[in-house]
Amino acid sequence: MAALRTGEVDFILAPPPDEVEALRKEKFQVLQSDAPHIWYWHLNMKDEKFKDVRVRKALQMSVDKDRMCKELLRGTAKPAWSMISPATVAYDPKYKPYSYDPEKAKALLKDAGLGSGFETTFWTSTSGSGQMIPVAMAEWIQRDLAKVGIKVKLETFDWITYLSKMFQGLRPGHGAYQLSWGMTSNFWIDIVARSTRQPDKGVNVGWYANPKVDGLLDTARAELDEKKRAAVYKQIDRIIMEEDAAFFPICNDLNLVVLSPKVKGFVNPPEEWFQLWTPWVEA
């Protein structure tokens, strides 16, 4: 931010959310796009509490994502309800299987025999690729979950240590592992949701396994018609989110970049990369 304001640099990524409005007033160019990005949690299918789908569904209703995106992230992200990335063929911006409903969440927890609440541990990083402001975001979620009786202990790590823990998978007692990821190909959901029993298991940190989903992922791989393939991925997402509630998406980053007024011809695409051979800087 300091380098941008002094003119040392002309282009920065991921400005702090609480600086964005000031940057606009200072006449910097603030560009956004619907990038294929999801900030989400893997829920641990080996943990005694999270094995119960009622607990996982209660979690989905316990966080006020709209308020979080408006107040904490200052409009730099949108609430996420799907494990399909924006900017992909199968993405449905109107899909919303859950609403913020803490009373219903409490009822589900009571039905699961956890009416008095429970304690768990969530992991996140202090920073990292696409991570936005992960600790502040995790603390917001921690406060919302406490209101329904889920007491979360947060453990944070530097990015490299955090990635090494990811490839070990979650252990009992650790309820969730946070990541921010996505691709413009809907195949991305295959990487994170394919059963851990498969040899090409991808990054299934929470040990999610549903043979029906595995079969549909195989169907999607083999389908050459784009519309038919997208329909299969939508079906997969409905199972993951509505039947299994296996992942906990929070928001879709709007991929903000900030440019000096001198930069011309720059395009912020619905991607997480940029081409820099056509923009120029005015003298």
Q: Identify the pLDDT of residue 167.
A: 84
Q: Identify the pLDDT of residue 203.
A: 85
* 73-91 pLDDT tens trace: 999 999 999 999 999 999 9
Domain span at 269: 2-31+257-281
Q: What's the average model confidence in pLDDT over 232-256?
A: 97
Nearest to 217 by CA among 203, 206, 201: 201
CA distance 262 to 264: 6
By percentage, how much of the chain surpasses pLDDT 70? 98
Nearest to 242 by CA among 69, 83, 46: 83
Q: Domain containing 61 — which CATH number?
A: 3.10.105.10
pTM to 2 decimal places:
0.94
> Are residues 91 and 114 both part of a single domain?
yes
> Are residues 245 and 191 both part of a single domain?
yes
Q: Identify the pLDDT of residue 191.
A: 92
* 149-207 pLDDT tens trace: 999 999 999 999 999 988 888 988 899 999 999 999 999 999 999 997 666 667 899 99
Between vectors from CA 183 to CA 278 and to CA 225, what angle results, nearest 5°?
A: 100
Q: What's the average model confidence in pLDDT over 207-214?
A: 96
Q: Identify the pLDDT of residue 201.
A: 61
> Are residues 141 and 112 both part of a single domain?
yes
Residues paired with 120 in a beta bridge: 152
> Are residues 216 and 244 both part of a single domain?
yes
Helices (H), 177-246: 188-193, 211-222, 226-238
CA distance 192 to 201: 8
What's the domain count of the chain? Answer: 2
> Are residues 205 and 274 both part of a single domain?
no
* Per-chain mean pLDDT for the chain: 95
> Are residues 225 and 197 both part of a single domain?
yes
By percentage, how much of the chain surpasses pLDDT 90? 90
Contacts of 178 (CB under 8 A, 6+ apart): 39, 40, 41, 42, 122, 123, 124, 125, 134, 138
> Are residues 16 and 133 both part of a single domain?
no
Q: Identify the pLDDT of residue 198.
A: 65
> Are residues 246 and 263 both part of a single domain?
no
CA distance 140 to 51: 24
Cα distances from 16 to residues 10, 13, 51, 73, 98, in angstroms, run 16, 9, 36, 9, 29
CA distance 210 to 197: 10
> Are residues 6 and 52 both part of a single domain?
no
> Are residues 138 and 222 both part of a single domain?
yes
Band of pLDDT at residue 103, cut at 50, 70 and 90: very high
> Are residues 269 and 185 both part of a single domain?
no
Least confident of 96-100, 131-135, 151-155, 202-206: 202-206
Band of pLDDT at residue 212, cut at 50, 70 and 90: very high
> Are residues 114 and 152 both part of a single domain?
yes
Q: Cβ distance 209 to 197 under 8 Å?
A: yes
CA distance 19 to 4: 12
